[in-house]
Chains A and B, each alone.
Chain A
Amino acid sequence: MKCLSKEELILALGSDGTLDPGEPHVHEHVAHCAACRALLEEYRSVLALTARIFDEEVFEETHYWVDDNLIAGYIDNNLDEDVREQVERHIAGCPRCANQLSELAEYMKAVGPREQGLTFALKIMRNGLSMLRHPASGFHSGEAAPVLLGAEDGDTRPVLAWSQDIDDLRLDFSAVHVDDEHVSLAVNIYKLVSDRMPTRLSLWENGELVQSECLSDCGGLVLQNLRAASYRAEIEVNEHTRIPLVIDLARDEES
Chain B
Amino acid sequence: MPSNPHKEAEALLAGCVAGADGAWEEFLSRYGRLIALTVNTACFRCDGHGREEKDLVSHVYQKLIENDFGRLRAWRGESRFTTYLVQVTKNLSIDYLRRKQPFFERNHMTPMDDSRNAIQVPGVPPSDATVAEDLDRLRAAIDGLSPKQRLIMRLRMKGHSLREIAGILNVPRGSVFAGNSRALEILRKVLNDGRKNDHSDEKG
A→B interface (CB under 8 Å):
6-7, 10-11, 15-17, 41-55, 68-73, 75-79, 88-89, 91-93, 95, 98-105, 107-112, 115-116, 119, 130-137, 139, 141, 162
Contact = CB atoms under 8 A, between A and B. Distances in A.
Contacts of B88: 68
B173 to A, nearest CB: 11
Contacts of A89: 147
Contacts of B170: 77
Given A46-B184, A119-B30, A112 B86 contact: yes
Nearest to B178: A7
A188 B185 CA distance: 46
B79 interface: yes
A110 B41 contact: yes
A133 to B, nearest CB: 6
Interface stretch (B14-22, B56-64, B186-194): B186-194
B82 interface: yes
Given A68-B91, A107-B38, A136-B5, A48 B120 contact: yes
A110 B164 CA distance: 13
Interface in B31-47: 33-34, 37-38, 41-42
Interface stretch (B95-103, B131-139, B196-204): B131-139
Contact of B187 (A6, A46, A102, A136): A46
B83 A53 contact: no
Given A10-B180, A54-B157, A111 B86 contact: yes
B54 interface: no
B127 interface: no
Contacts of B118: 48
26 contacts: A6-B181, A17-B116, A44-B119, A44-B121, A45-B134, A53-B135, A54-B154, A55-B117, A68-B91, A69-B78, A69-B84, A72-B78, A72-B79, A72-B84, A77-B170, A89-B147, A95-B154, A101-B155, A104-B90, A105-B168, A107-B38, A107-B87, A111-B86, A112-B83, A115-B33, A136-B81
Interface of B: 1-3, 5-6, 8, 30, 33-34, 37-38, 41-42, 74-76, 78-84, 86-88, 90-91, 94, 109-113, 115-122, 131, 134-135, 138-139, 142-143, 147-148, 150-151, 153-160, 162, 164, 167-170, 177, 180-181, 184-185, 187-188, 191-192
A173 to B, nearest CB: 13
A55 B3 contact: no
A169 B115 CA distance: 36
Contact of A130 (B1, B6, B138, B153): B1
A136 to B, nearest CB: 4
A47 B116 contact: yes
Contacts of A137: 80
Given A53-B139, A112-B86, 5 more contacts: A45-B119, A47-B184, A51-B157, A76-B79, A141-B2
Which of A71, A76, A95, A116 has the most chain B CB atoms inside 10 A of its CB?
A116
Contact of A69 (B75, B142, B158, B181): B75
B117 A48 contact: yes
A165 to B, nearest CB: 13
Nearest to A39: B188
Contacts of B8: 133
Contact of A112 (B82, B131, B180): B82
A91 B155 CA distance: 10
Nearest to A137: B80
A89 B143 CA distance: 11
B187 A50 contact: yes
A95 B94 CA distance: 17
A108 B167 CA distance: 11
Contacts of B131: 49
Given A15-B157, A101-B168, A116-B34, A75 B79 contact: yes
B30 to A, nearest CB: 7
Given A49-B134, A115-B34, A71 B112 contact: no
